[in-house]
Structure 1
Amino acid sequence: MKNIVLFIIAFSAPFLLWSQGNFPSENGLFEVDYLKGCVGTTITVTPIAATGTYLACFDADLTDLTSSENQTCFNEQANKPVGKLEFTYTEPGIYNILVLNQLTGSQQFDSLTIKIFDPELPQLALSNCNGDIFFNLNPEVESFDIYNINFGDGTPPQNVSINNFPISHTYSDNSQSYTVQATGSFDASGFNNCSNTTYTNTIVPENLNETAATITSLDLISASTLEIAFNANENQFYFVEISQNNNTSYNSVRSLYGQSTGTLQLDNLDLINNFYCVRIVSESLCTGNDLLSNEVCSIQLTGDAQADGNLLEWNSGSFTTSTLYKNGFEIYTGNSPFLDTNVLCGQTDNYEIIATNSSGIEVRSLAVEIIAEASASQLPITQVSTRVLSSGELEIEWEVPQGLQPETYIVYKKQKESDNFREIATTDSTSFTDTSSDFTSGISFYSVSYSNNCSGRSPLVATAPNILLTANESENIIDFSWNSFTGYDSLLSHYLIRKYDRDLNLVDEWDIGLETFFSDDVANAGEQIYIYQVFAISENGLISSSNQVQFKIPPSFFVPSGFTPNGDALNEEIKVVGKFIEQVEFSIFNRWGTLIFRSNELDKGWDGFLPDREAPEGTYSYTIVVKDAAGEEYFKSGVFNLIR
């Protein structure tokens, strides 16, 4: 109830003759004209005894009649004109009127309580019970004493006391529509100055079947508030009930009316230390039985940091399935409890449960943060990849066990598999580049651990070598081999061999499973230079790569042993024939060693003519100088015959 300014009106007995109060106070010292009314009601106090001076407080404290609040109220009489003892109420509430009769040498107190309303529209529930329509009002939420019910079918309206509901009515045709009205009013003790007195609804009686409500979702808004969404029958009364933890007893906390769908928040809960189950109940006007909705419970998730991990517990018995998430990743599906041993001492982890109940409704818990207290790092790093970037650069990258967020990683290296690891670097990243070895001629081995805030280090498990690819060629067959990659523990999926041209455009690719050797036939190669590289692929997507091996096919070139420039259009020219030649210098000499022809073009040969005549038949010598795509120079010399 809001505080109001307290009016005090004082006057002597001769002015009492006009008062008309007829509802006496507790001790009969005064009367009032009304015991209730709506906002705007004026209450007049009429003293009964004709002697003494009367003072009235219209919002008094009855727990202590002589309280300072009441005394202040009475002392204000000096500032009030003499007149009626009356007050107009502008706020709804329950008010105590306290009257003081000041006599010579004594005082008399008396009081009376009134109610001021600001009513909502009447809430009329309607149910079709085997053809008869039942009308009901809820006295717990209604303000008025009497309701005039107009059934809308031409039959006389009925005045019904709030205490006499429910009532029934039979319509001649339940398939027709009728406009029903219920108008509330006070009995003789009230002042009927209210608005919002009439409920109006157009109904079709055969459609007024009772239904149970359905809860469609439950969400935790904060640590003290949950929200439900629901479907209901707008013509029924419903009550939201709640139980705490495993208590099977429900308490009614809210009423619902006039909504077919909506949301409702329940406040002042302790959702951290308790879980709550919610249901919606409607009492059938036809049978008197409860119509129960589905039950939906919140999740109470608790966490405790223990020496062997983080212990999570929740009310899994309220749900058919429960899934636990850690830092946004799913780590467990099943019932409570769960011990998360995948923790890092001193690390703060965020946990959350998403569970589904028997109605298929998904409920999410509040998040729980736990600072791990496990004394040592328990889970090792088992997935380490290596990538040769150049002859002197190797990038090592590793995968952190899910849920861990270490601040420091330690990188280890050894030159031989039988050696002990030695620490070579610390980093806050999940990758490191080693520049201390030649990765085209030897193999080094690497492992990674992490440290926690409790001075512990994870054990070394993964041993990840660089992949050293080697090749040998024989009769246009290139044989490749490489060392097995062991950085993925048991999760190595397969090896890939990729073949590139000299501009690193992919030419071909082979998936060779888990073999560590491969052969490529280059007899019919279309390029002189190829680059090969092997990749180790893990089942979880990590990729390691070897050094690149370049293979160059030597250029091939020759000059035919003879030609016949006789005009028959056959074998009329002699020239260099070859493959993988970028530049050529073809020179021809006569028997005395005199240069008689030179060409720098593969397609341009000698036609057997000297500048002024045909060259004679006989044997001629030649030299060839060629350069291939790699800029390497080759030389060849020989003889051929000119035949006419």
Structure 2
Amino acid sequence: MLRIIIMFALCMASLGVLAQPYVSDKGRFQVDQISGCAPFTVNVTIIPPYACNGATPCDMDYEFPVLIDFEQNDFDHTYLQPGTYTLRILFQTQGFDQITINVLPNIQPAIQVFKCSSNGIQLTIPDNNYDEYVVDYNNDGTPEQVVPKNVSAKYSYTYPSAGSKILSVHGRNIGAADNCNKTLFPIAASGSLATPTISQLQVTDASTIRLDFANIEQNVLYKLEVATNAGTFQPYRDVYNSSMQTITGLNVNSNYYCFRLGAFDPCSNSVIAYSNIICSADFDATAINGANRLIWRTNSTGVSAYNFSRNPSGTTAISATPPQTSLDDTDVLCNEEYCYQLTTVYTNGSRSISLESCATAFTSQQPATPQNISIQITGTTSLDLQWSQDILYKPAEYTVFKNNVEFGKTKDQIISDNAFLVNAPECYAVSYVDECGNKSTLSAAACPLILTAVLQDDNSVVLSWNAYAGWVNGVDHYTVERYDEDGQLLTSVDAGNALTITDSDPDPNNQVIAYRILATAVDGTVVESISNQVVIIKQPNIYHPNTFTPNNDGLNDTFKVMSQYTETVEFMVFNRWGEMLFYTTDLTVAWDGTYKGDAVPEGTYTFRAFLTDMAGVKYEKSGNVVVLRKR
């Protein structure tokens, strides 16, 4: 039937084209065409016995009434603008003769071309500007197909081979010049239609999904289909020359939607190949006690993994695999909001990305007890407490207890006590309330390191201290530090786990020694504990001989009062009548048993000494000494 219609149209077209020339109203001239697309050229022929020549010129006006412009003996004219014109010719003795000229807009017809398999195409001409259309499937003049105006008609054509082709279509009217512009359409004929891919699905808001396609061919018509909640696929829309589609009017918070894209062959009116199936996920995050529960619902066919992004990020990645449809994220802190996004990964590499879902974590779980309290005594009445905290819990406020009585509150893991008493047994414990309002148990009590020091008669110092018990894994070792009176560290001795040590260092240069003990934990991350400082002033130990023998034999020839740590001295010797025989303030000078250069006789003499030690303490020493002279 279609063949009969086409042949009829061709015959009618031929009759229209041959219906020329066209004679003027009074039969004095004729034109080759009276209608055509701009630019449109008309050729005039004078019909005998009428003549237009040099002897009898004619005045010609082609564009009356638009433009009145007479030209003599001008037998052709090109119309540039569409419109209806009157072509007038003024013959000298006969007057005007005329004919109507219609110039049409030169519109390239709208066409739509779809590829088919087996090197075929299907053509639609949704254009009604012309009476008929000339189709040249190869744009080479053969074969041409003339079809009447019909916006819904579909024309199929099969190329003899695959490859690049150029299809041309132009319109014309019955009885008009065939000069209208062509629409050129390049197309690649192929033996089969490629299978498309939906490479990504992304939910952009609660009612909208964006689909991205791959392996899309130009001029192929695709059929997008949708299925809701594992239902049957239904036609949704046609896709043509587009690598992306936005789907609206959905309810992604209550449903999940699956899509597939079919390559459609209009010549056979069938889908030749379907893409992969990709689905959105009905995804939700809900806070439960101690975790955020992630629940999703989707079609798991072709799914290789479920990956989750989290903001703020956690310590480990979150993922799952089918048939899993939920998981609990326990890496959360209470009262903090976490936002999750589910990415469904398919075996072919496609991805489906959900909307973000957020939950604020909470827990009724009792938080971990504070541990590893370190105490550093910083002065005679002050100390600092520090402790460690499980990072999985976020304290809102700590409460510190001193001897089981509430001492103070702090938001930090440190507090100072400026009313500390060394001589009173004061111990500390810590608890806290976390940001969820849950209260920890009270920590084990920690008592400060208290150092005592006892000076012995020989100026050695016995140091003793209590065992430190504030740390979970205990003490690794104690260190004894010695400082001079200016605060400079003299020595540092590892005492191991001993709780007492004797300092027997004579150290003649430092009478004033300060001691303190450092406790180092087995756990290397714990801050050390520091004892009180004890200051010891060693005794000067003043002594002197009872006799001396000043006979220059190199043995016991001089006499003086001696001591340790002496800073200044004033030393005097008297005879029995109270006369001063010797006087010096030089620590290095002794009495040699003479007076004014003469040796004193044997006998008993009196001395007095005034000394000041390195600690600034003054001493007075007096007594008798016997002078003996060996013979």
The answer on whether the counterparts of 1:558 and 1:578 sit within 8 Å (CA) in structure 2 is: yes
Counterpart for residue 441 of structure 2:
459
Counterpart for residue 437 of structure 1:
420
The answer on whether the counterparts of 2:451 and 2:532 sit within 8 Å (CA) in structure 1 is: yes
Counterpart for residue 633 of structure 1:
618
Q: Quick one: distance in 2 between partners of 1:601 and 1:367?
A: 90
The answer on whether the counterparts of 2:372 and 2:526 sit within 8 Å (CA) in structure 1 is: no
Counterpart for residue 392 of structure 1:
381
The answer on whether the counterparts of 2:373 and 2:471 sit within 8 Å (CA) in structure 1 is: yes
Match of 1:559 among 525, 538, 544: 544
Q: Quick one: distance in 2 between partners of 1:509 and 1:101?
A: 109
Counterpart for residue 594 of structure 2:
609
* 2:518 is the alignment partner of 1:535: yes
Q: What amino acid is aligned across from residue 14 of structure 1 in structure 2?
A: I
* Deviation sequence 1:598-636 (CA, Å, 0-9, x none): 222211223433336443343322122222222222332
* 2:392 is the alignment partner of 1:403: yes
Deviation of 1:524 (Å) = 5.5
Counterpart for residue 364 of structure 2:
375
The answer on whether the counterparts of 2:508 and 2:564 sit within 8 Å (CA) in structure 1 is: no
Distance 1:444 1:309, change over 3 A: farther
Q: What amino acid is aligned across from residue 397 of structure 1 in structure 2?
A: Q
Distance 1:572 1:494, change over 3 A: closer
Q: Which secondary structure does the structure 1 equivalent of 2:34 belong to?
A: helix
The answer on whether the counterparts of 1:391 and 1:547 sit within 8 Å (CA) in structure 2 is: yes
Q: What amino acid is aligned across from residue 99 of structure 1 in structure 2?
A: N
Aligned length: 403
The answer on whether the counterparts of 1:347 and 1:405 sit within 8 Å (CA) in structure 2 is: no
Deviation of 1:465 (Å) = 1.2
Deviation of 1:523 (Å) = 4.1
Match of 2:582 among 593, 597, 607: 597
* 2:35 is the alignment partner of 1:15: yes
Q: What amino acid is aligned across from residue 448 of structure 1 in structure 2?
A: V
Q: What amino acid is aligned across from residue 545 of structure 1 in structure 2?
A: I
Distance 1:468 1:332, change over 3 A: farther
* Deviation sequence 1:19-54 (CA, Å, 0-9, x none): 89xxxxxxxxxxxxxxxxxxxxxxxxxxxxxxx99x
Q: Quick one: distance in 2 between partners of 1:497 and 1:405?
A: 37
* 2:166 is the alignment partner of 1:187: yes
Deviation of 1:382 (Å) = 1.6
The answer on whether the counterparts of 2:38 and 2:103 sit within 8 Å (CA) in structure 1 is: no
The answer on whether the counterparts of 1:342 and 1:404 sit within 8 Å (CA) in structure 2 is: no
Output aligned runs, 1:11-90, within 5 Å.
Answer: 14-16=34-36, 84-86=105-107
Counterpart for residue 545 of structure 1:
530
Counterpart for residue 575 of structure 1:
560
Q: What amino acid is aligned across from residue 518 of structure 1 in structure 2?
A: I
Q: Which secondary structure does the structure 2 equivalent of 1:578 belong to?
A: coil
Counterpart for residue 621 of structure 1:
606
Counterpart for residue 422 of structure 1:
405
Distance 1:383 1:573, change over 3 A: same
Deviation of 1:402 (Å) = 0.8
Match of 1:479 among 462, 471, 474: 462
The answer on whether the counterparts of 2:573 and 2:607 sit within 8 Å (CA) in structure 1 is: yes
Distance 1:349 1:535, change over 3 A: farther
* Deviation sequence 1:307-346 (CA, Å, 0-9, x none): 244568999x979xx9999978858999996664884x43
- Uncovered stretches (5+) of structure 2, i.e. residues with no partner: 1-32, 41-82, 85-101, 111-122, 132-147, 154-158, 170-180, 185-195, 203-210, 217-243, 254-281, 322-326, 343-354
The answer on whether the counterparts of 2:37 and 2:103 sit within 8 Å (CA) in structure 1 is: no
Give me the identity figure in percent: 25
Q: What amino acid is aligned across from residue 441 of structure 1 in structure 2?
A: N
Counterpart for residue 517 of structure 1:
500
Q: Which secondary structure does the structure 1 equivalent of 2:35 belong to?
A: helix
Output aligned runs, 1:206-225, within 5 Å.
Answer: none
Cα RMSD (Å) of the superposition?
A: 5.7
Distance 1:567 1:514, change over 3 A: closer
TM-score (norm 2): 0.50
Q: Quick one: distance in 1 between partners of 2:385 and 2:167?
A: 92
- Uncovered stretches (5+) of structure 1, i.e. residues with no partner: 1-12, 21-51, 54-80, 103-107, 114-145, 147-159, 165-184, 195-238, 246-250, 257-265, 274-299, 354-365, 415-420
Counterpart for residue 485 of structure 2:
502
Deviation of 1:422 (Å) = 2.2
Distance 1:462 1:252, change over 3 A: same
Q: Quick one: distance in 1 between partners of 2:450 and 2:411?
A: 28
Counterpart for residue 154 of structure 1:
none
Deviation of 1:444 (Å) = 0.9
* Deviation sequence 1:388-440 (CA, Å, 0-9, x none): 111211211222211333232111121xxxxxx222212222211122331x2
TM-score (norm 1): 0.50
